């Protein structure tokens, strides 16, 4: 992508961010189940529209990493369990998207981290994850999480972590690990989580949405 194209898509993204609050699912390659938790994001969007005054399309679109359509969405959601692969073209497009004002929440549904970290080096070879401390404002939006990222599902018994990639002090990518927020957002019949667990997951998700759209 040349300089003029980057400037054009930056303008599109910034214009869209001003007038719209939209979230799309990122459809990635590599064989991982990018389509996991199909009811999760629609449920989170409904919760946000009802509780934090957003006006997000309740039926999120799907977008691919190589598409210029990325720039229509200020917020991308990515999840799954397994392998992730970005081509060099996709990595460059994602980098330009994020540097232009976009944001990605990567929610590890279990087993995704090692694959994603490898591909992340294609996008930001010069950057490393920084863990968000419990004092980060993402935990102090409409809902208060004084202990940081909540634990929704047990997998390997590890503590939940919110890991970020920053550009010029702006959080451009959030990786939630050992929390499994998306499972908590799913329809109650899917995982049969207690209502208080689902509520906690939805509230944390709403905080992420609120933080991104306010920043």
Task: Tell me what percent of the residues of the chain surpass a pLDDT of 70.
Answer: 91
CATH number, domain containing residue 147: 3.40.50.12140
Domain containing residue 48: 3-214
The model's confidence at residue 5, banded by pLDDT at 50, 70 and 90, is: low
pLDDT of residue 17: 47
- Concatenating the DSSP letter of every residue in 202-214 gives HHHHHHHHHHHHH
pLDDT > 90 fraction of the chain, expressed in percent and rounded: 80
What is the rounded average pLDDT of the residues 11-27? Answer: 69
> Is the confidence at residue 9, as pLDDT, over 70?
no
Task: Please tell me the predicted confidence (pLDDT) of residue 151.
Answer: 94
Residue 121 scores a pLDDT above 70 = yes
pLDDT number for residue 49: 96
- What number of other Cβ atoms are within 10 A of residue 162's Cβ? 24
Total number of domains constituting the chain: 1
pLDDT of 2 > 60? The answer is no
40-44 long-range Cβ contacts below 8 angstroms, 24+ apart: 40/79, 40/182, 40/183, 40/185, 40/186, 41/77, 41/182, 41/185, 43/185, 43/186, 43/187, 43/202, 44/185, 44/202, 44/205, 44/206, 44/209
Averaged over 25-29, what is the pLDDT?
97
């Amino acid at each position: 992508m040349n300089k003029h194209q980057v400037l054009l898509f930056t303008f599109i993204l910034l214009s869209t961010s001003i007038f719209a609050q939209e979230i799309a699912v990122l459809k990635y390659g590599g064989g991982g189940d990018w389509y996991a938790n199909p009811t999760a994001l629609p449920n989170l969007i409904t919760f946000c529209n009802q509780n934090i005054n957003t006006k997000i399309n309740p039926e999120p679109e799907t977008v691919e990493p190589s598409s210029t359509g990325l720039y229509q969405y200020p917020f991308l959601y990515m999840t799954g369990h397994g392998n992730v692969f970005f081509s060099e073209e996709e990595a460059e497009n994602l980098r330009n998207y994020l540097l232009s004002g976009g944001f990605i929440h990567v929610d590890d549904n279990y087993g995704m981290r090692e694959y994603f970290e490898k591909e992340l080096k294609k996008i930001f070879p010069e950057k490393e994850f920084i863990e968000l401390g419990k004092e980060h404002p993402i935990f102090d939006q409409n809902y208060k999480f004084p202990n940081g990222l909540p634990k929704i599902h047990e997998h390997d018994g590890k503590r939940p972590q919110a890991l970020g990639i920053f550009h010029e002090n702006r959080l451009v990518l959030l990786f939630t690990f050992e929390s499994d927020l998306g499972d908590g957002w799913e329809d109650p019949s899917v995982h049969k989580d207690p209502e208080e667990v689902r509520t906690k997951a939805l509230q944390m998700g709403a905080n992420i949405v609120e933080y991104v759209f306010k920043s």
